[in-house]
Chains A and B, each alone.
Chain A
């Protein structure tokens, strides 16, 4: 390996005593339409290690994984598996060679059952056909290892996105793969599920599997990974032992600069929220059978209300009901003190509500349109299709948000599907910010977004609130919710259990509230023991 690198691999990053890597990539380059996405990148995976692949949004992590597993054909470079040079023509080929992959976007078929999604392609046989019972049994066993209690015979599409993500992981860990690649597997998981996933990952690692782990949650990386490789702008920055790297150093390697804004979110300048005025939106007893018990909520001008709670606590459901994405069974909605009918998203948009949903694949990204078109979709829809946005205004609006959210490439004419996952997420966020709503519902807006951009987005939300927008902020990351919110609504088992002033509230206190409620409900609740869907 004689090519010039930004930083040479330190000797310490090699695992002493280990024979040979299972997978080694050398000099890998790939370009899309002349634009290089990866340039002369190397990666070494040893058996029995968890290897974190790090980098900003658009750094080339997913591209590297796809080039390795046969989705893309690299322009240059070699893939060596077990000392033999290989080139995979399709994902099926790499799977056959013992490389099991969970790609970044949940890549399963919503119309098939959970069991089929996990096992199709290597299903148990029965009389020459598929052994349906055996298949379900095996699926259930693997799901149990991940602590997931879902019916393997149920259709995948009816489950929330987190369950789908776990099913995708279950598909990958079900085989005894020698290499397991997880591209942002934890983006929509809660702490509990992450813990369980890590247990499985550790077991596999101890059995000798090489695991690639991609995540923008630095805490998780430091918890699970042994070594890491950092990419920046499609180039290799370096390979490090996790034990010898600090978080700060890692961030510097990823961004190529110091990160100033993280943790320092100034909301002091914002005018205090006036709770005596009529709230922008007030709901009374909003509920839907099986989704949410009757809930009250008020959101004032310039206020950020955070919804905290575990997965399946009803936080997403509340936002969906408020926006009319699901029809409520009970409850009333008042907008500026006037009764309003919000039964469909259309009606919600007319009342100047906006909802950035967590499920960007199903509800957001239109891959074949340009970034600009994707961004302007909601604004155009709210104006009506007969009143096109003037070209000059289009250009300035798009340019402003491309910059504000640091979308890369900052090219309004790029096709949406060619953007990296995190950058797609930024465009979707811009889509709703652009409409300048009076109430903005953000469901997991920073999922899959790198540390730098995450701080930028939080800053932007704070700014918008400072200018009078009411915001409902949902995130699985409690720290983030607490940092941003003026008020925190704690949810559990599909209802609101507490409402606290933000500011001095700590993560521990919120978790305590949730746990205390748990013991309480356990004693009183006898009939309603429905498992979360």
Chain B
């Protein structure tokens, strides 16, 4: 600002929109997400070059349909990881949600009641995690590991076999498609997933709760001394994750149209992988929910690759995810090393 002496008067007033667009350079915090977007685009183009029909917009849209539940899980996981925590229970909660939905519907509950029950159970489980972690000082890893076993065990108590879901409302929603211009289509599950992302992004960027999540991840002790509601936020974050897991479970029941204790085994790891690939630091405080969305798309693209190829073993999915994960964590390490 000391160089402002020879600039004409008036040029220091609010810059025009165009000026702002021109001078925009992505802030440090967007770099990881941009990197993820680049990876996604390269993967997708590689597929387009290699396989006929890959570069079709419908293939892109299908990424959202086929991974709607994972997107929602990753959103909840992002909240938790941003505070520096982890939630290992979400896969089991998805399974539990499918079982509860199937059971209640089988018992004749109306669809809205079944949905409410599922969401309530998921949120309560998350709340319990939060209380264990915040007030009893149990490590997030341990508390949610216990939750993971408990929820999975509960599934088997409720249903030992797979229960089909033939409720009318559920199947209507599951099969309904939304036609987009150009003859493409999407489903309500994808809409729900995207809506979750939008709401989460707003909350994290613009609500006090969201900013407190970042503050806690940056430095919990500081956040406390700043007078922020740290305890409440930390509990809430696990409740959010539990709610998202239940919502993801509902989307998964719509996808599978069955409740099964064996659903979603290991899905928590996919969610964590998506969040990390999306550029969120595991130590907390840095990351964006949009990154997690793109992270899921990257995972989805790898899977699409395998299914287009036909000759590749599906284990290649795991190998690619492993390699990508490693690459991302390494890049993050390099990017953050020199910063104070």
A-B contact pairs, 24 of them (CB 8 A): A90-B227, A91-B224, A94-B227, A101-B225, A108-B219, A109-B218, A109-B219, A111-B214, A111-B285, A111-B286, A112-B215, A120-B211, A120-B212, A120-B228, A121-B227, A121-B228, A129-B202, A130-B206, A132-B206, A155-B28, A157-B339, A157-B340, A158-B340, A529-B5
- Which of A107, A155, A529 has a CB less than 8 Å from the CB of B29? A155
Name the CB-closest residue of A to B203: A129
Q: Which residues in chain B, 237-293, are within 8 Å of chain A measured between CB atoms? A: 285-286
Whether A35 is near chain B, meaning CB under 8 Å from some CB there, is no
Whether A531 is near chain B, meaning CB under 8 Å from some CB there, is yes
CB A276 to nearest CB in B, in angstroms, measures 39
A529 to B222, CA, bound (A): 35
Q: Are B340 and A110 in contact (CB under 8 A)?
A: yes
CB B339 to nearest CB in A, in angstroms, measures 7
CB B45 to nearest CB in A, in angstroms, measures 33
Q: Are A120 and B215 in contact (CB under 8 A)?
A: yes
Digitize A346-358: 1 where CB-to-B-CB distance is under 8 Å, 0 elsewhere.
Answer: 0000000000000
Q: Please indicate the chain B residues that have their CB under 8 angstroms from the CB of A149 in the complex.
A: 1
Known: A109-B218, A155-B29, A157-B339. A529 touches B225 (CB 8 A): no
Q: How many residues of B are counted as interface, with CB atoms below 8 angstroms from the partner's CB atoms?
A: 33
Whether B158 is near chain A, meaning CB under 8 Å from some CB there, is no
Digitize B19-49: 1 where CB-to-A-CB distance is under 8 Å, 0 elsewhere.
Answer: 0000000011100000000000000000000
Digitize B302-325: 1 where CB-to-A-CB distance is under 8 Å, 0 elsewhere.
Answer: 000000000000000000000000
Q: Are B226 and A130 in contact (CB under 8 A)?
A: no
Chain A CB within 10 A, most for which of B29, B221, B286: B221
Known: A110-B340, A158-B340, A530-B3. A91 touches B226 (CB 8 A): yes
A171 to B228, CA, bound (A): 13
Name the CB-closest residue of B to A131: B206
Which 4 residue pairs across A and B have the least CB separation, nearest first? A529-B3, A109-B218, A129-B206, A111-B218
Known: A123-B208, A129-B202. A108 touches B222 (CB 8 A): yes
Q: Which residues of A contact B (CB under 8 A)?
A: 71, 90-92, 94-96, 101, 103, 107-112, 116-117, 120-121, 123, 129-130, 132, 149, 155, 157-158, 171, 326, 359, 362, 526, 529-531
A230 to B208, CA, bound (A): 40
Q: Are B227 and A91 in contact (CB under 8 A)?
A: yes
Whether B11 is near chain A, meaning CB under 8 Å from some CB there, is no
Q: Please indicate the chain B residues that have their CB under 8 angstroms from the CB of A92 in the complex.
A: 227-229
A92 to B230, CA, bound (A): 10
Given A92-B228, A96-B227, A531-B1, 20 more pairs with CB closer than 8 A: A91-B224, A91-B225, A91-B227, A94-B227, A107-B222, A108-B226, A109-B214, A109-B218, A109-B226, A111-B214, A112-B218, A117-B226, A120-B212, A120-B215, A120-B228, A121-B226, A129-B206, A155-B27, A157-B340, A171-B226
Q: Are B340 and A121 in contact (CB under 8 A)?
A: no
A251 to B23, CA, bound (A): 56
Whether B207 is near chain A, meaning CB under 8 Å from some CB there, is yes
Q: Are A109 and B222 in contact (CB under 8 A)?
A: yes
Q: Please indicate the chain B residues that have their CB under 8 angstroms from the CB of A91 in the complex.
A: 224-227
Name the CB-closest residue of B to A359: B340
A531 to B207, CA, bound (A): 33
Q: Are B285 and A109 in contact (CB under 8 A)?
A: yes
Q: Please indicate the chain A residues that have their CB under 8 angstroms from the CB of B222 in the complex.
A: 107-109
Q: Please indicate the chain A residues that have their CB under 8 angstroms from the CB of B163 in the complex.
A: none
Whether B145 is near chain A, meaning CB under 8 Å from some CB there, is no
Whether B130 is near chain A, meaning CB under 8 Å from some CB there, is no
Q: Are A130 and B224 in contact (CB under 8 A)?
A: no
A326 to B27, CA, bound (A): 21
Known: A110-B340, A129-B202, A530-B3. A95 touches B219 (CB 8 A): no
Q: Are A107 and B340 in contact (CB under 8 A)?
A: no
A99 to B72, CA, bound (A): 42
Whether B179 is near chain A, meaning CB under 8 Å from some CB there, is no
Q: Are B225 and A116 in contact (CB under 8 A)?
A: no
Q: Please indicate the chain A residues that have their CB under 8 angstroms from the CB of B338 in the complex.
A: 326
Q: Are B207 and A103 in contact (CB under 8 A)?
A: no
Whether B223 is near chain A, meaning CB under 8 Å from some CB there, is yes
CB A155 to nearest CB in B, in angstroms, measures 7
Whether B217 is near chain A, meaning CB under 8 Å from some CB there, is yes
CB A325 to nearest CB in B, in angstroms, measures 9
A123 to B211, CA, bound (A): 11
Whether B12 is near chain A, meaning CB under 8 Å from some CB there, is no
A408 to B129, CA, bound (A): 41
Q: Please indicate the chain A residues that have their CB under 8 angstroms from the CB of B339 in the complex.
A: 157-158
Q: Please indicate the chain B residues that have their CB under 8 angstroms from the CB of A132 in the complex.
A: 206
Name the CB-closest residue of B to A363: B340
Q: Are B340 and A109 in contact (CB under 8 A)?
A: no
Q: Are A120 and B226 in contact (CB under 8 A)?
A: yes
Digitize B47-85: 1 where CB-to-A-CB distance is under 8 Å, 0 elsewhere.
Answer: 000000000000000000000000000000000000000
Whether B169 is near chain A, meaning CB under 8 Å from some CB there, is no
Known: A149-B1, A362-B340. A71 touches B219 (CB 8 A): no
Q: Are A111 and B217 in contact (CB under 8 A)?
A: yes
Whether B2 is near chain A, meaning CB under 8 Å from some CB there, is yes
CB B14 to nearest CB in A, in angstroms, measures 11
Q: Are B206 and A107 in contact (CB under 8 A)?
A: no
Name the CB-closest residue of A to B284: A111
Q: Please indicate the chain B residues that have their CB under 8 angstroms from the CB of A90 in the complex.
A: 224, 227
Chain B CB within 10 A, most for which of A71, A109, A120: A109
A121 to B223, CA, bound (A): 10
Known: A109-B215, A110-B218, A110-B219. A130 touches B225 (CB 8 A): no
Name the CB-closest residue of B to A156: B218
A103 to B219, CA, bound (A): 14
A530 to B4, CA, bound (A): 10
A282 to B208, CA, bound (A): 52
Q: Are A130 and B227 in contact (CB under 8 A)?
A: no
Q: Please indicate the chain B residues that have their CB under 8 angstroms from the CB of A129 in the complex.
A: 202, 206-207
CB B162 to nearest CB in A, in angstroms, measures 43
Chain A CB within 10 A, most for which of B222, B224, B339: B222
A346 to B218, CA, bound (A): 27
Name the CB-closest residue of B to A117: B226
Q: Please indicate the chain B residues that have their CB under 8 angstroms from the CB of A531 in the complex.
A: 1-2
CB B84 to nearest CB in A, in angstroms, measures 11
Name the CB-closest residue of A to B339: A157
Q: Are A109 and B286 in contact (CB under 8 A)?
A: no
A34 to B121, CA, bound (A): 45
- Which of B3, B226, B229, B286 has a CB less than 8 Å from the CB of A107? B226
